[in-house]
Structure 1
Amino acid sequence: MRNVIKFRVLFLMMLPTLAIVIFNNYLPMFGVVLAFKNFTFSDGIWGSAWAGLNNFKYLFQTDIAWLATKNTISYNSIFIILNNVFAVGLAILLNEIRNGRLKSVFQSTILFPYFLSYVAVSYVLYAFLGESGFINMTVLKGLGIDAVSWYSAADKWHFILPLVNTWKNVGYFAVVYLAAIVSIDPEYYEAAVIDGASKWKQIMHITVPMMFPIIVIMTLLQVSRIFNADFGLFYQAPLNSGALQNATEVMDTFVYRNFLLNGDVGMSSAAGLYQAVVGFVLVLVANTVVRRINKENALF
């Protein structure tokens, strides 16, 4: 109680954020009950009949649900690897740029895609991949290759989506890792230079090991959302093309289609709860593995 009185100003400053978290993250948890009900709008949440585990049975019996599960985990696993590898490399590259003004220009440039909405990204993609886009009319035509109908070729989007995700997010991760690099004591590098260490050895034996704790934290945060897909990337960027569903159907688009398009509230809630539980278990498992290797790098 003494601490509350002593730091009352800080607690008051925390209240708005706490209210937002409770309102956005905790109050909606009461909606979990819909996953176990045969919901109808006329009866409401509490008046609708209980369905038990029927919504989950139907969820796991549909091929599209398993496709969405496979795609979600596969894509997010690839995203985690690409985002971390390219972001670490880009952060190291930026750190090697000694000119402060030039560094700030690079940071602004790489961060720009992160703030673009996927509506804007969809226009950029279409300018490149449309029937009269840059790839077909300039690149392929110049090479004497027939135009490709990109928005009908599902197999090609297994490569396009990771590229788009990396382009959009690598700048954000790079800035986080750059902050970690800047905090490294310069004396380590000075000692390495005296010992005759090359720039590559300095990176591999000083920079990367000193960055490792933040890399682990960022990876764990991404693993916690491995069962949540970026709706804009998989729905808006490919223009919701039905021909691409095998490559773009993930849990978030699956929930959207069942809820807004099919009106199946119970099924959507069951899928959402399925996402949350699996994500929670995965982050616990990942954190346990990290804790066994090095307790200091674990989140909790």
Structure 2
Amino acid sequence: MVRILIKRMVMKSALSGKEKFNILLALAGIVLVFVYAYCGDSCSYLQGSLFGIDLKYLGVLFMGTLVAFSLFGLREYRLFLLSAGAGAEAFLIGFQVRHDVFCPYCLAFGAVLLLLFAINLDWGRRRLIGIFAALGLLAFVAFFNGSVTPSFAAEPLKPVFGNGRIHVRLYSDYFCGPCSRLDPEIAGPIAALVKKNSIRVTFVDTPVHQHTSLYVRYFLYALNEKKDIDYANKVRHALFLAAAMNITEREKLEEHLKKSGITYKIYDPAPTFNFLTGYLTEDKIRSTPTAVILDSGRKTVVRGSADIARAIGEIP
């Protein structure tokens, strides 16, 4: 096999213009991957893996294989690999469109791949091209694991509203009965205090129940779409209602939010979780609902729905 490949390479030593162009484009794709990898955190718009392998490594492997196929004159293998790549790229472009976050380097890499596919397209093999494109698409549908980060997101999203002197940290769990009864009682007063800059409120969703983490994610996703105190209260109300209905599956929760008029934008909430965990640790939260009120250096911890409602009502 090695002898055959060497013989092919010798025979193809005088590469045609098309082969040289194929190699040049593949090398350009590799350069794009390295530029993306080393440009720093500010351009990490899209991150993902397939079969647990980072897409950056797969991109280099993909383009490197194309270079090898071009050098050895393996045109059919190159076409089938490009077909699978085109199917995968269709998925990745759709992923970016869905989340409304676009990575210039990823799109440039995709443009190079699709150009390679176009110049090597052979309609006489359209059936096999379709099969390999479908395989590439299905592989990403089944095994792709990715996350998006909004462009220029220097600071993590924080569920904080208002600029008042008094800071209220409200700890609650969507599956907590007293929390669900407290929420409609204080939502209006909190919104009014925020709007007149009397308080700064931080909603710290506390994962006491096993399914709360899912709800916390969608609360943050909703704030990533629209960060507004009235919208935050609307989302919280919808999530408390979902918990009362014992919705614990992601698909059903998404359907419930859609019916409730809640839109959201998915992002990586890990930095936000770190921010909120800091407060949970600092305030030593052991139960919900709990409110921590900080005013002029004085810290007051209030527990229980009745006492929290009373404390919120007493804020001028």
> Normalising by the residue count of structure 1, what TM-score does the alignment of the two structures yield?
0.25
Bigger Rg over Cα: 2
More strand by share: 2
Structure with the bigger RCO (C-alpha within 8 Å, sep 6+) is 1
